[in-house]
Amino acid sequence: MKFDKRVKLTNNKVLNKDGEYVVYWMQNAMRVEYNHALNYAVKRANLLGKPLLVIFVINLKYPEATTRHYKFMLEGLSEVRQELKDKNIKISFLIGDALDCVLDVCEKASFLVAEKGYLKHEIEIRKKLSSKVNIPMFEVETNVIVPVEEVSNKEEYAAYTIRPKINKLISYYALELESFEINKDSLNLKVSNEIEFNVEDIMKLLSVFEDKYSSEFKGGISEARRYLDDFIKNKLNFYEEKRNDPSLDYQSNMSMYLHFGQISPLEIYLKTKDEKNSDHYIEELVVRRELSYNFVYYNKNYDNYRSLPNWALETLEDHSRDNRKYIYTLEELENFNTHDTYWNACQKQMVTTGKMHGYMRMYWGKKVIEWSNDYKEAYKVLIYLNNKYNIDGRGPNAYAGVAWCFGKHDRPWFEREIFGKVRYMNENGLKRKFDMESYLKKIGEKRQ
Ligand SMILES: Cc1cc2nc3c(=O)[nH]c(=O)nc-3n(C[C@H](O)[C@H](O)[C@H](O)COP(=O)(O)OP(=O)(O)OC[C@H]3O[C@@H](n4cnc5c(N)ncnc54)[C@H](O)[C@@H]3O)c2cc1C
């Protein structure tokens, strides 16, 4: 296993030889297998002769999270708990502010392992933790195949600029992880304030937006692997040709499992790369996905309009006063109440199932731009809706996806009203390419 470039010591504190345990703070890689951070923590704990304590902090008001996100996350954690137990490793669940909870547990620890973060709030909390904690802190990168700083030291312009950089390094990093065993059982360790883990009880404590729809997807590694196996067996071979058609179901459904780190991109990559016709899938899973990580890591405006390239900002400014035929309020959009049946259908798909089809996300975003007076407002609305209803929302792909609708990672096209040189999409394109009646029927059959 190549740990060298995945692991960073983030402070120069002295190791506490008398610590009772080693701590791994699990946050965005909620899995046991293909988890470099967990592997690293076990390896170092064994070397030191200490048990390993895994902790997970449940923040009842996590930024933008809604009940569908929590439920999916907790379902996954329930499996993690069992898998760790089978390996004689304790996971303690705490409720509260992550910084305070991790610092408390670290009082009795020898050192701390955490995963690397990419979004602003993830980076911020790691910085604070690293300076406040009294023990060494290691950050381990496990949610991308090639470590983000190894790929590039700057924001990449588009897929064509990052692709060769990733391709050069991928065989070095895409390696199976060694299986591991902990030497010292930690199941009897007790942490003050730890809670009994029970999904229903925790759900009752939440004070976030409550869904009237229960999502179609269940969280956890078993479900992720069930979808993945079915995809490899029945769909991967036809992915290039059929994935864009919203009336069909030829995507892998990995996005939400990847978002919560319930499955590793490395596992998916290793299982698909040698299959027939897997190139297009690998392009999405690795190049496009890791371009999104590069985007949020190096562009601190990733969550707002200022993230766009100059050509897009300039052309949009030139068209900011163009006449708009339709303008919709957030309420009308949220309740799929526009004149456009296809748009209403995909918004409804996202609200009622927790996942909008990939091709429709592009159309969806473009239309909100067309129906808003103000591009900045449209940007905010798209992030708000995407993150509230897609289970895979709130991560690097969400921000890159919305930015793409405004020209990010794309190129200038022919100039036209409202969009300027930013790529445009219309319903005739949908009708020409796909059986949209069938898509409508499929969504119409969903719950109202
Ligand atoms: C406006 C808009 C919003 C989006 N919001 C999100 C989001 O919140 N979360 C999210 O994960 N993706 C988002 N995407 C990207 C893409 O639509 C989804 O990743 C994909 O539809 C998820 O379904 P899947 O896992 O079945 O995909 P598959 O087609 O089976 O692809 C496999 C994996 O490749 C990656 N991938 C696929 N397409 C893209 C892409 N265009 N960019 C980056 N990575 C990609 C994802 O990790 C995905 O899980 C958005 C795209 C747009 C245009």
For residue 66, being part of any structural domain is answered with yes
Instruction: Look at the chain and report how many structural domains it folds into.
Output: 3
324 and 272 in a common domain: no
* Domain boundary pick from 142, 158, 190: 142
**311 alpha carbon – ligand 1 mean position (Å):** 25
Task: Give which of 378, 362, 350, 355 is closest to 427, Cα–Cα.
Answer: 362
Give the Å distance between the CA of 239 and the centre of ligand 1.
Answer: 14
Nearest residue by C-alpha to atom 18 in ligand 1: 358
* Same domain? 354 vs 440: yes
- Of the residues 274, 298, 322, the one at which a domain ends: 298
Give the residues across from 73 on adjacent strands. none
Co-location of 117 and 40 in the same domain: yes
- Treating both helix axes as pointing N-terminal to C-terminal, what angle do 341-353 and 436-444 enclose, rounded to 10 degrees? 40
Residue of the CA atom closest to atom 34 of ligand 1: 285
Q: What is the pLDDT tens value at each position of the chain, 448 positions in all? A: 555 789 999 999 999 999 999 999 999 999 999 999 999 999 999 999 999 999 999 999 888 889 999 999 999 999 999 999 999 999 999 999 999 999 999 999 999 999 999 999 999 999 999 999 999 999 999 999 999 999 999 999 999 999 999 999 999 999 999 999 999 999 999 999 999 999 999 999 987 777 888 778 999 999 999 999 999 999 999 999 999 999 999 999 999 999 999 999 999 999 999 999 999 999 999 999 999 999 999 999 999 999 999 999 999 999 999 999 999 999 999 999 999 999 999 999 999 999 999 999 999 999 999 999 999 999 999 999 999 999 999 999 999 999 999 999 999 999 999 999 999 999 999 999 999 999 999 998 554 4
Does a structural domain hold residue 116?
yes
Residues 135 and 148 in one domain: no
Q: Do 357 and 326 fall within a single domain?
A: yes
How many residues can be counted in the chain? 448
211: in domain? no
Same structural domain, 114 and 165:
no
Asked which of 277, 298, 319 is the last residue of a domain, the reply is 298
Ligand 1 atom showing the smallest separation from residue 259 Cα: 11
Burial class of residue 233 in the structure, from the number of CB atoms within 10 Å of its CB (0-12 exposed, 13-18 middle, 19+ buried) = exposed
Tell whether 257 and 314 lie within a shared domain.
no
Same domain? 287 vs 353: no
CATH of the domain at 36: 3.40.50.620
Taking the CA of residue 390 as reference, the ligand 1 atom at the shortest distance is 8
Q: Which residues line ligand 1 (CB under 6 A)?
A: 243, 251-255, 258-259, 284-285, 288-289, 292, 358, 361-362, 365, 386, 390, 392-393, 395, 397-398, 400-402, 404-405
208 falls within a domain: no
255 CA: nearest ligand 1 atom: 49
Same domain, yes or no, for 38 and 94? yes
Q: Which atom of ligand 1 is nearest to the CA of 362?
A: 53
Closest residue by Cα to atom 32, ligand 1, is 285
**Domain match, 259 and 333 both:** no
Q: Compute the distance from residue 393 Cα to the ligand 1 centre, in Å.
A: 10
Give a yes or no: residue 1 inside a domain. yes
Q: 31-66, pLDDT tens digit by residue?
A: 999 999 999 999 999 999 999 999 999 999 888 889
CA distance 178 to 257: 22
On whether the CB atoms of residues 272 and 263 are closer than 8 A, the answer is no
Q: What is the CATH number of the domain that holds 253?
A: 1.25.40.80
Query: Residue 428 domain-assigned?
Result: yes
Q: What is the CATH number of the domain that holds 398?
A: 1.10.579.10
Q: Answer whether residue 192 is part of any domain.
A: no
12-22: burial string, b at 16+ Cβ within 10 Å, e else = ebeebeebebb
Asked if 170 and 266 count as a contact pair (C-beta separation under 8 A), the reply is no
- Please state the atom number of ligand 1 nearest to the C-alpha of residue 359: 17
366/337 same-domain check: yes
For residue 66, give its domain range.
1-142
Structural domain includes residue 210: no
Same domain for 160 and 59: no
